[in-house]
Chain A
Amino acid sequence: MKIFICDGTCDSFFSAVFDAYFQTDCIITSDSEVQLALDSQIVKVETDLEKSRRIQRGIQRYDVEGVPDVVSVLRSCDGLKEQIAFEYIKLVFERKAAIKKAYNLPQVIEFNDILYKVTGETHRMKGFLRFMESSSGALYAPYSPDNDITDLLMPHFAERFASEKFVIHDLKRKLAGMYDGHSWVIAHVGEAEVYLSEYEKTFETLWKCYYNAVNIKSRPHEKQMKGYMPVRYWKFLPEKN
């Protein structure tokens, strides 16, 4: 069995799809510590932009949402994401049609599950992300999402906070989305030192006060709270600390 190892970028993945397409027995992964079977043969994928473009054009012919969907799936933290996306793409080519809504096919179910986790976390973070105000007035939001979604969040906040300056910092991946009041970029940022504005503590305290007061104590339902707002996200929520 051939194991195609790509470097985690989209172009590398699509190149791997091109190379692996006619292989009968192979997997694609970006995990370099993949478990090797006895007969496995490692192939290091060389990124080829032309191959990547051809695969993307091919998908687009049958499904306009196909490429963005695959790109979203590739942001997932799931170790099988490349393989699942590969199976999905093979099915698109085999059927020569958009298959996103073939909800009963196993490849589509697996693909949509991962896609839903990525888009679902993006939606949640639009609500759960917390900014603090620095002494310069710029806003800073540290977080550590399950999936690599920082650049999916940037357009939402760039529109909403159009005249602010802000940074969204993924501590797990050491990535930061930075908006300067006009446009945004993503950059590698290890650690950030933030000096908070003198009002920060006051508003954080008011927010905690509001959070406690708005709760109806005679109707406890912790299970539901945790269902909608998983405990792993609490670390960055002032109201839960």
Chain B
Amino acid sequence: MLDANKLEILTESAKYDVSCSSSGSNRVNRGGGLGNGSVGGLCHSFTPDGRCISLLKILMSNECIYDCEYCPNRKSADVPRARVTPDEICELVINFYRRNYIEGLFLSSAVFENPNRTMELLCETVIKLRKVYNFNGYIHLKGIPHADETLVFKAARLVDRMSYNIELPSEKSLKMLAPQKTKQSLLLPMKNLRDAITYDKENKVRQNRVLPAGQTTQMIIGASPETDGQILQLTESLYRNMGLKRVYYSSYIPVVQSNKLPAVGAGLLREHRLYQADWLIRYYGFDVAEIVGEGENLSYEYDPKCAWALRNMHLFPVEVNTAPLATLLRVPGIGAKSAYKIIEARKFSKLDFDNLAKMRIVLKRAKHFITCGGKFYGSESLSQVQTALLLDGKNEVTEQLSMFSNSTVALSALTGEV
């Protein structure tokens, strides 16, 4: 059985990976096995840093042959090392799962010996879990760059989600900080998996579908000089061309001393703003070009939707009783849930401000951008609106700022709603 010391080392090494979502898979519990998928995802606990625990997030080993500058497990780092066997992992997963501690496994690893050997053992673990232990719960597997494609596909037909972390937002930064990984070694398997997912979907493959919960990726923000504009353009193409379910941002924390890295962290506000912009791209119908220019950074003072609205005051105010969904979604302060409620409620009767307040639609920001039955309760001049939103924004930063939360966050969003 796995001992506590090893578990601690391999958890400490894995915890900076942001992704913890367990959503998107409706895998059923076949043949009297253990576990199933829960499409909306489930959180099983929350840690004092405010993050949810959904999956057992662990490395198979933290003994790495690579020497990526930013990584606490890089070859040249002086840290305690450990490795576990596939059986030890399986046993832990099964026993945690039966006690309802976890929703499944997030398995990753440092690259030990060589990429193929690492991928082989990850594969073996997954095969054992599914075939020997008859486990049908959620599995998220990290892809090992440079590993053989047949191994990758063997695993992809058994797990729910895979992720290749692109690590840094440009090829140049990758070359500088993670010289042993190439852009090609990360993007090529992503592309191949995307094609396989599309094929399975088009041909209505039911059994052993490739990655029913799709792919995700992660990049470090603030360890390299890219602007928010560049980062979000990359994000947009990952969503639209690569078909990813989520892009995670991890604001750089200086755990490692290096002259190639900045001495201070990127700060949580930047990460927060990027997630807000990410939401606008995925759920609110925005293009990156509308949110931020290529060479620019997102505003610290205003959230990206407010900033956009202030630049486009000629489009407002909009009438809540007639505006289409796409327009309502662009009103600052009105989230996806509120917009949906408005659309449904106005089929029954005309809405006034009082109604909106009762429906718990937050009007603090929205009132400057809407009319209800022709009536307007906001401020007339642009500068007054700017000041009002700025004060409001200050509140938001102190109160709501967190690693993942976002003004539209719902419980399900924490689990990585797809």
Q: How many residues of A contact B (CB 8 A)?
A: 54
Per-residue interface assignment for chain A, residues 123 to 145, with 1 indicating a CB less than 8 Å from any chain B CB and 0 otherwise: 10011111111000001010000
Chain A residues within an 8 Å CB radius of B268:
219
Chain B residues within an 8 Å CB radius of A205:
4
Flag the segment in A30-38, A184-192, A223-231 that touches B. Answer: A223-231
- Known A-B contacts A104-B345, A141-B100, A205-B4; the reply to A162 vs B359 at CB < 8 A is no
Interface residue? A239 (CB, 8 A): yes
Q: In residues 262-276 of chain B, which contact A (Cβ within 8 Å)? A: 268
Interface residue? A21 (CB, 8 A): no
Q: Is the CB of B359 within 8 A of A103?
A: yes
B interface, by DSSP: helix, strand, loop or mixed? loop
Flag the segment in B9-17, B211-219, B374-382 that touches A. Answer: B9-17
Interface residue? B113 (CB, 8 A): no
Interface residue? A106 (CB, 8 A): yes
Smallest Cβ-Cβ distance to B136: which chain A residue: A160
Chain B residues within an 8 Å CB radius of A129:
100
Q: Is the CB of B405 within 8 A of A224?
A: yes
Q: CA of A225 to CA of B402 in the docked complex: distance in angstroms? A: 11
Cross-chain contact of B403 among A103, A105, A207, A219 (Cβ < 8 A): A219
Q: Is the CB of B45 within 8 A of A128?
A: yes
Cross-chain contact of A228 among B42, B358, B414 (Cβ < 8 A): B414
Interface residue? B7 (CB, 8 A): yes
Interface residue? A232 (CB, 8 A): no
Interface residue? A164 (CB, 8 A): yes
Chain B residues within an 8 Å CB radius of A99:
348
Q: CA of A104 to CA of B414 in the docked complex: distance in angstroms? A: 28
Q: Is the CB of B358 within 8 A of A214?
A: no
The distance from the CB of B340 to the nearest CB of chain A, in whole angstroms, is 9
Flag the segment in B48-56, B121-129, B310-318, B388-396 that touches A. Answer: B48-56
Interface residue? B43 (CB, 8 A): yes
- Known A-B contacts A103-B359, A141-B100, A210-B56; the reply to A228 vs B33 at CB < 8 A is no
Of B101, B358, B411, the most chain A CB neighbours within 10 A belong to B101
Interface residue? A163 (CB, 8 A): yes
Q: Is the CB of B96 within 8 A of A207?
A: yes
- Known A-B contacts A109-B358, A130-B100, A207-B101; the reply to A217 vs B49 at CB < 8 A is yes
Interface residue? B407 (CB, 8 A): no
Cross-chain contact of A161 among B54, B98, B253 (Cβ < 8 A): B98
Q: CA of A155 to CA of B154 in the docked complex: distance in angstroms? A: 33
- Known A-B contacts A109-B359, A131-B98; the reply to A239 vs B45 at CB < 8 A is yes
Q: Is the CB of A229 within 8 A of B99?
A: no
Q: Is the CB of A127 within 8 A of B49?
A: no
Chain B residues within an 8 Å CB radius of A131:
98-100
The distance from the CB of A128 to the nearest CB of chain B, in whole angstroms, is 7
- Known A-B contacts A106-B358, A131-B100, A221-B403; the reply to A206 vs B15 at CB < 8 A is no
Q: Is the CB of A207 within 8 A of B44?
A: no
Q: Is the CB of A161 within 8 A of B345?
A: no
The distance from the CB of B401 to the nearest CB of chain A, in whole angstroms, is 9
Q: CA of A221 to CA of B46 in the docked complex: distance in angstroms? A: 10
Cross-chain contact of B7 among A106, A161, A210, A215 (Cβ < 8 A): A210
Of A127, A131, A218, A220, the most chain B CB neighbours within 10 A belong to A127
Q: In residues 396-412 of chain B, which contact A (Cβ within 8 Å)? A: 402-403, 405, 411
Q: Is the CB of A139 within 8 A of B101?
A: no
- Known A-B contacts A104-B358, A206-B7; the reply to A225 vs B48 at CB < 8 A is yes
Q: Is the CB of B49 within 8 A of A211?
A: no
Interface residue? A237 (CB, 8 A): yes
Chain A residues within an 8 Å CB radius of B45:
127-128, 211, 229, 237, 239
Q: Is the CB of B2 within 8 A of A211?
A: no
The distance from the CB of A212 to the nearest CB of chain B, in whole angstroms, is 8
Interface residue? A43 (CB, 8 A): no
Q: CA of A31 to CA of B398 in the docked complex: distance in angstroms? A: 43
Q: CA of A126 to CA of B42 in the docked complex: distance in angstroms? A: 7
In addition to A103-B341, A109-B358, A210-B11, 5 A-B residue pairs with Cβ atoms within 8 Å of each other are: A130-B99, A214-B15, A216-B51, A217-B48, A223-B50
20 CB contacts below 8 A, A to B, read: A101-B347, A103-B344, A104-B349, A104-B358, A127-B44, A127-B45, A127-B54, A129-B100, A132-B99, A159-B29, A164-B98, A203-B96, A207-B96, A211-B47, A212-B8, A213-B8, A215-B48, A220-B48, A221-B402, A224-B50
